């Protein structure tokens, strides 16, 4: 289980992005974090992955305090993170990237399996450079594939996996997430606005204005979420910068 307790994150400018956030992502379950744009979801994912450090609060992995570990040390502990906006690596092929993620050579059948899970034909992609020549949807799928290629994952974090992915490939991805969440040794944490991902969640956490607004099993939270609106606390006149 990944446990984040009393997490506060304040920028050097003094702006507080996350306020006393508690989140648990249990093993064998899919936890989906959702909420309005700018609410703090990616910030929370970055803190979980070790890309940023909380100002206060603790992060535990299966009871071990990992708050002070950086992203590399957390990756060694089994935390895998797929970026909202993946990084491109000129000079590195898709095969190189997946082998780096897997920690060793990948035979073609395994490459085909991993790339097939994200809807890409291995033959067409494995020798391509992970550069600007790939489309937004292609790079996003390769980023997701790099998490699927990893061994010994204890927490897999995907930030808006739906972004830029076509409907056909997205259906395949839903199957991949369904399969992953059945693995009892792994906690799955997905940041998403997509109803189809919310529908397969075991638990849903709603974050708005840096605070947890709802947290509970999908059957309780999803109907409330679809009926109501999680409004931003910013008054309308401020949104439009008028009196």
The contact set with ligand ATP (CB under 6 A) reads: 11, 17, 35, 37-43
33 versus 118: smaller Cβ distance to ligand ATP: 33
The neighbouring-strand residues paired with 129 are 93
Q: How far is the CB of 7 from ligand ATP (least distance, A)?
A: 12
36 versus 172: smaller Cβ distance to ligand ATP: 36
Q: How far is the CB of 110 from ligand ATP (least distance, A)?
A: 32
Q: How far is the CB of 47 from ligand ATP (least distance, A)?
A: 10
Q: How far apart are CA 100 and CA 87, in angstroms?
A: 15
Cβ proximity of 180 and 188 under 8 Å:
yes
Q: Which two tokens stand for residue 55?
A: 């100002």
Q: How far is the CB of 179 from ligand ATP (least distance, A)?
A: 26
97 versus 214: smaller Cβ distance to ligand ATP: 214
226 versus 234: smaller Cβ distance to ligand ATP: 234
48 versus 106: smaller Cβ distance to ligand ATP: 48
Q: How far is the CB of 123 from ligand ATP (least distance, A)?
A: 34
Q: How far apart are CA 117 and CA 112, in angstroms?
A: 8
Tokens 């489309």 sit at which residue? 135
Q: Which two tokens stand for residue 124?
A: 């067409």
Q: Where are the alpha helices (DSSP H) in the chain?
A: 41-49, 71-76, 94-102, 108-117, 122-125, 136-149, 167-181, 195-199, 218-227, 236-239
């Amino acid at each position: 289980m990944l446990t984040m307790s009393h997490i506060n994150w304040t920028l050097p400018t003094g702006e507080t992005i996350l306020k006393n956030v508690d989140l648990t992502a249990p093993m064998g379950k899919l936890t989906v974090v959702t909420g309005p744009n700018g609410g703090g979801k990616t910030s929370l994912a970055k803190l979980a992955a070790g890309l940023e450090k909380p100002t206060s609060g603790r992060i535990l992995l299966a009871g071990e305090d990992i708050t002070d570990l950086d992203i590399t040390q957390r990756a060694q502990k089994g935390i895998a993170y797929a970026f909202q906006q993946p990084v491109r690596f000129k000079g590195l092929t898709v095969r190189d990237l997946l082998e780096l993620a897997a920690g060793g050579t990948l035979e073609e059948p395994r490459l085909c399996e991993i790339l097939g899970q994200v809807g890409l034909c291995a033959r067409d992609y494995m020798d391509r450079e992970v550069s600007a020549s790939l489309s937004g949807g292609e790079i996003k799928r390769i980023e997701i594939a790099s998490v699927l290629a990893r061994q010994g994952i204890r927490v897999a974090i995907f930030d808006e996996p739906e972004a830029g992915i076509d409907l056909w490939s997205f259906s395949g991805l839903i199957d991949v997430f369904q399969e992953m969440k059945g693995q009892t040794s792994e906690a799955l944490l997905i940041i998403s606005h997509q109803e189809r991902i919310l529908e397969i969640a075991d638990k849903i956490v709603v974050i708005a204005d840096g605070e947890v607004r709802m947290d509970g099993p999908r059957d309780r939270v999803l109907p409330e979420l679809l009926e109501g609106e999680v409004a931003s606390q910013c008054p309308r006149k401020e949104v439009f910068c008028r009196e």
